[in-house]
Chain A
Amino acid sequence: MAFLSVRGLVVGIGRLTPLDGISFEIGKGEIVGVVGESGSGKSLTAMSVMGLLPLIGGKVKAGAMTFDGIDLLTLPPAGYRALRGKRMALISQNPMTSLDPIIRIGAQIDQMSRLHLGFEAEAAKARSIDLMEQLRIPDAATIYGSYPHQLSGGMKQRIVIAMALAADPDLIIADEPTTALDVTIQAQIIQIMVELVRERGLSLMLVTHDMGVVAQACDRVVVLYAGRVAESNGAGGIFEAPSHPYTRELVRCIPREGQPPGSLKGIPGAVPSVMDYPSGCRFHPRCPEAMPICEASVPALERKTTGLAACHLETVHAHV
């Protein structure tokens, strides 16, 4: 059984249904990318797994979610609080939402191991500094005593990762962890994060819009489009033999090295809004291979030549 399993998750916020049947699994030690454009529901999926939906007035309306055999949907708030931070940790896009501006960096990392692992002050400090060094934070002992505002954005995000790792979690959910950072810093942080996750055999759910980051880091990829899973596939399948036209078109939107001029076209139309989703397959108005059935009926997520895809086509052609 998968370590984290999400099946048919439907989430409502008010009268809207931003997540409409999300299914995917993450195995132990696996790095799974959850990708999509704005409004695809990727961040909301992360919030659902973390049990943070009540913060934004969201409600799970249907589906099932289990984590290491624990049913997350029937878990009482106290049980969730015990899981969060200890067994599943969140790394968010903006490090300042995770760091308290008036508490020294060290104390904030210490807190995780003291709270969740029962460490004494000295042991917690040693562990925190060790973690900071593993994240290649230069002069960790000095940074330990500084305040968040004294650090650069990249350094703050490293501290947040250290906090996430401090309580020895089994699952890390990283929601666009490097989007706010410059490319050179982003590359280093992705690299260190993936290294540490692999070394410890942790599971990582990496939420991102960046297909380059996905290709670099992930074992498997879940592609979301307009609140549904379009495709769920291995990283190789996603980039070389995609099973959903959206995946293929999305990958083609990124200029590759040596791509001839004039060959970048994008996907016509606009990303649909949650207020106004198309009928049937939600990608059909933009799909180059749309058929009459695509407008009429919602395709189920089913096995294709590679991976799973929600598409009425039997096989997707690499070239159209």
Chain B
Amino acid sequence: MPMSEAAMSDRGETTPESASSAKPMAGDLATIRGLTREYVSSAGLFSMKRTMRAVNDVSLDVPRGKVTGVVGESGCGKSTLARLVLRLIDSTSGTVAVNGVDLGSLTARELRKLRRNMQMVFQDPYSAIDPRYTIRDALLEPFQIQGVGFGAAGPVGAIDELIARVGLSPRLAGSYPHQLSGGQKQRVGIARALALKPSFVVLDEPTASLDVSIQAQIIGLLEQLKHELGLTYLFISHDLSLVRYFCDRIVVMYLGRVVEILPDARARPRHHYSLALMDSHFEPDPKRRKVVTRLAGEIPSPFDLPPGCAFAARCPAATGLCTRERPLLTGDAAGHQAACHHPAG
């Protein structure tokens, strides 16, 4: 197997520990420039091929030691973006650099080796572990794939430590995934992602398929791990309240494009789509019932986007300019960027 060969040459180089220091360092861990992913669909035998850009010219920086949130509704491209950033799928154009290394310039083998430093926690914990693997096997697999040693504690100690770190009982090591609850499975998914001591973790809606009481557990665990291990997160979610709670900065996506970047989770959005998202969230407080600003119109088809702002048809502030000309992402000194001709306050 090619893996073991790569593993041999790897021993004695940078130890995984050095990749993640406990203190966050300054600067950006990941730099994304002009990232685009096209999908071509041929709906039928005689229909024309249609192209859609699931992710369209996205540029953003992921600061080290921080949580960057990407929020948007279904079809906005946030999950595709997560996979592009880790190069789990190839981009049509654009670049992603992690720790200064352009992922697009790497050979397949180099990329595989680098994966130990950038991991992902997936949305669906129910299918994230091979049903034929015990929890112990699933946690051993990252070490086997990368040919990384277990350290002084040996394989048993290393697995025990991982299991304890994500708050699972060591008794579960011999269990199969179907014997675990959804929350326990997601903890295993997190343990697997952390096994190789990465510094960058992409969280793709890690709590979307969990119950409310379990979702809060998992978010609490992720916060704790971030502090203990000095991790950098890219957090993908459709839940703006969760993003505002968990993230240091927020990226709002609509139909493949970034429409707003908030440098601070508490900042008041300026893009009318971000405002609508905020407005659509019901606070768990009957004294704060709200009248939802009515968004007219429908979400346009991603195969047939209008020439102007994609949100114009639903936007309360839209003018003729918005339907003709697409607004560019422009920002202020604080780094608050919005792609809107008529930004709010």
Chain A residues engaging chain B, CB cutoff 8 angstroms: 37-38, 136, 138, 152, 155, 182-184, 186-188, 190-191, 209-216, 218, 235-236, 239, 249-259, 261-262, 264-268, 270-271, 286
Contacts and interface: CB of A to CB of B under 8 A. Distances in A.
B279 A187 contact: yes
Nearest to B294: A188
A183 B238 contact: yes
B285 A239 contact: yes
A187 B280 contact: yes
Interface of B: 73-74, 181-184, 211-220, 223-224, 238-242, 244-246, 266, 276-277, 279-292, 294-299
**From A136, A183, A188, A212, residue with most partner B Cβ within 10 Å:** A183
B211 A271 contact: yes
A265 B241 contact: no
Contact of A271 (B214, B287, B291): B214
B207 to A, nearest CB: 10
B199 to A, nearest CB: 20
B55 to A, nearest CB: 18
Given A254-B284, A255-B245, A209 B212 contact: yes
A112 to B, nearest CB: 25
A290 to B, nearest CB: 16
A256 B223 contact: no
B213 A213 contact: no
A266 B216 contact: yes
B74 A182 contact: yes
A271 B241 CA distance: 23
A256 B298 CA distance: 29
Contacts of A236: 286-287
A286 B218 CA distance: 16
Nearest to A286: B213
**From A188, A252, A266, residue with most partner B Cβ within 10 Å:** A266
A213 B281 CA distance: 9
Contacts of A249: 213
Contacts of A138: 296-297
Contacts of A256: 241, 283-285
Contacts of B292: 187-188, 191
Contact of A187 (B218, B282, B298): B282
Closest 6 CB pairs of A and B: A266-B217, A266-B216, A212-B282, A255-B245, A187-B280, A270-B181
